[in-house]
Structure 1
Amino acid sequence: MQINATLPFDRSDAAEEFFHMDAVREVGRTLEESGFAGGNVTDHPCPTARWLDAGGHDAQDPFVMLSLVAAVTTTLRLQTGILVLPYRNPFVVARAAATLDVFSGGRLTLGIGAGYMKGEYKALGIDFERRNELMDESLRAMKAAWTGENFSFEGEGFNARENRLRPMPVQRPHPPILAGGNSRRAIRRAVELADGWYPFFTPAALSSTARTASISDEQELAEAISYMRDYSAKVGREQAPEIFVASVTRPGQPWEPQAIVDKLGRLKELGATGAATHIDGRDRAEWCDNARRMGTDVIAKLD
């Protein structure tokens, strides 16, 4: 099991602790030394004040933030978790991803999703109701651009005719793509267009807010995995997508090391190859102490 940590650089409530390069260096090196496989960043370029005031969070630009982390680490994977793909022109994303992959030595993983915030879509001028179609189109366009050869691709609002994007990503044919979301459509997207599936535990009470299907426990996750494998066989994909679970801990949730080890073991039995964790900390010292504790008490005990 590969374990990532959600990076703490969205902490506007503790900007003096996390909003500078000393923090990036300390956090990045702590994660590497503690055995974490990667660091995750999320994506909210223009969230609504209502969402923020109801418990949402700020978010730094994902490619900028991961580039800073890349500069102070050597082995840590750099993962968007998630990048809301319809927010951006796909060729701008392809360029940013290729640049980061090249200069990090091939450490980028692209977790992508359709998002759920209507107000943010409206602020960015993107049609929320067409987010799934835009997602699929963008993935196909990015793959065409990553070949490094002349390509043509016409989509909604863009039209590439004999364009070329170089350098190509170090990872071939492109950085690993994890398609996020719990819905059957999201699962089919992972099978058809991605390398992996990126589910997240969502209680039924919150699924309508997040605008995705509920996966509240491991039994429901197992049912979704069964659907993914059946669909893979149906469309002729020989090996089903890998499974990377978005988070096994939540902000403010007390955690007991053995309980997390046991949960990760059950997820591995279901077929998961990785998972992300949230780490709490009122300041940088506490955050790093908790990351080290996760490393010794959880990661070191995994098979």
Structure 2
Amino acid sequence: MKFTVAIPLGDITPGEFQTPDAVRTMSVALETAGIDACYVTDHPAPDAKWLHANGHDALDPFSAFAFVAAATTRLRMHTNIVVMAYRNPFLTAKSAATVQLLSGGRLILGVGAGYQKAEFEALGVDFHKRGKLFDEALKVIRQAWAGGPVEYQGTNFHAAGNEPRPAPNPSPPIWIGGGSDKAVERAARWGDGWSPFYAAPTMSQLNRDTGIHTVDQLGEKIAMLQGLRQQIGKTGRFDVAIGPKARLNYGHPGGADRFLEELRGLADVGVTWAMVEPPHPSRQAYIENVQWFGEEVVARLR
């Protein structure tokens, strides 16, 4: 089991998280704790009502990860998630390939279809075509990374012998986000991993409907996914990333016991990466929680 842990670069508390020193100290704390990867999300233009109700801010993930990569040597960087339909796929390919190249191959490109209609409208993208645009982008980004000219007639673009560079080798693994059957199908066909999420009351109705509700349901979907991969001849490593529902009692003896127990249950159904979001009332509190997690979870598990 590996761990990808949220790094709160989207938190706008003045002076706490969005400074060069904050990025360095938090990134180094994660790496020192033995954590495998950190993750950030993607919201270029979120709906203001959503943002101020129960939403979350975000820095540009690729720019932010350039700073994380420069501060570390081993820590991987995981976009959770980049919405592919927001961008021309060649622009996503360029940004991801640049981080992959200059980080020494440490990017995990988590991607999704998106769910916030107001954000699509602000970015000039048809919300109702997001599935088609997502599938198209998943196909084109692989071609862009392969090296050489690309020929592709897209919905909103036409590549007629264009040659994107760099061509990263190895290319970043692509993890498909979402819990729906369609997300499972996409992950099987196009992905190197699947990153579902638990349904929660604060989510949009769409996300509540497609989120994971139980470990048994998760196991059924993983089995379905592996069956689809076999049908289309997909082989090789495939990752599944989701965290336990159990809360960690940071800073307390035995505060990780239930979490570790649930983690073993997730491993039994095929989960390979656990996603974790430590509390961060301040930068120092975040660093202390990361250190505690390294001692009480990572060290104990390994």
Bin the TM-score by the shorter chain: over 0.9
2:248 & 2:51 partners in 1: Cα distance? 20
Distance 2:50 2:204 in 1: 16
**One-letter amino acid of the structure 1 residue matched with residue 85 of structure 2:** P
| Matched residue count | 298
Residue 237 of structure 1, CA deviation:
2.7
**Residue 35 of structure 1: aligned partner:** 34
Instruction: Give the superposition deviation at 1:98.
Output: 0.8
In the TM superposition, what whole-angstrom CA distance separates every residue of 1:248-299 from its partner, at most 9, and x where no partner exists?
369x975631111112111111111112100112111111000000110011
The match for 1:2 is 2
Q: Which residue of 2 aligns with 1:81?
A: 80
2:244 corresponding residue in structure 1? 248
- Larger mean Cα displacement after TM superposition, 144-153 or 22-31: 144-153
Separation of aligned partners in 2, 1:101 and 1:212: 34
Match runs of 1:170-209 below 5 Å: 170-171=169-170, 174-203=171-200, 206=203, 208-209=205-206
**Aligned equivalents of 2:80, 2:274: Cα separation in 1:** 11
Give me the whole-angstrom Cα distance separating, in 2, the residues matched to 1:169 and 1:240. 19
Counting only pairs closer than 5 Å after superposition, residues 137-286 of structure 1 correspond to structure 2 as 137-171=136-170, 174-203=171-200, 206=203, 208-210=205-207, 212-238=209-235, 241-245=238-242, 247-248=243-244, 254=249, 256-286=255-285
Percentage of pairs with the same residue: 38
Deviation digits for residues 68-100 of structure 1, max 9, x if unmatched? 100101000011011111000000010111111
Shift of residue 209, structure 1, vs aligned partner: 4.2
Letter in 2 for 1:163: N
In 2, Cα distance between equivalents of 1:240 and 1:203 = 30
Tell me which residue corresponds to 1:120. 119
Could you tell me which runs of 5 or more consecutive residues in structure 1 were left unpaired when the two chains were aligned.
none
* Match of residue 302 from structure 1: 301
C-alpha contact (below 8 Å) 2:196/2:211 kept by paired residues = no
Q: Which runs of 5+ in 2 are unaligned?
A: none
SS of 1:231's equivalent? helix
Aligned partner of 1:104 in structure 2 is 103
TM-score normalized by the length of structure 1: 0.93
What is aligned with 1:129?
128
- Identify if the C-alpha distance between structure 1 residues 70 and 205 changes in structure 2 by more than 3 Å, giving closer, same or farther: closer
Query: Quick one: distance in 1 between partners of 2:296 and 2:157?
Result: 50
The answer to whether the Cα contact below 8 Å between 1:116 and 1:211 also exists between their aligned partners in 2 is: no
The alpha carbon displacement at 1:228 in A equals: 1.2
Matches of 1:30 and 1:222 in 2, distance apart?
33
Residue 27 of structure 1 and its aligned partner are, at CA, apart by: 0.3
* 1:153-185 Cα shifts (integer Å, max 9, x gaps): 1111100111112221131xx210001110001
User: Any idea what SS the aligned residue of 1:15 has?
Assistant: coil
Per-residue displacement from partner, 1:204-240 (whole Å, max 9, x unpaired)? Answer: 8846242651311211111111221222233333458
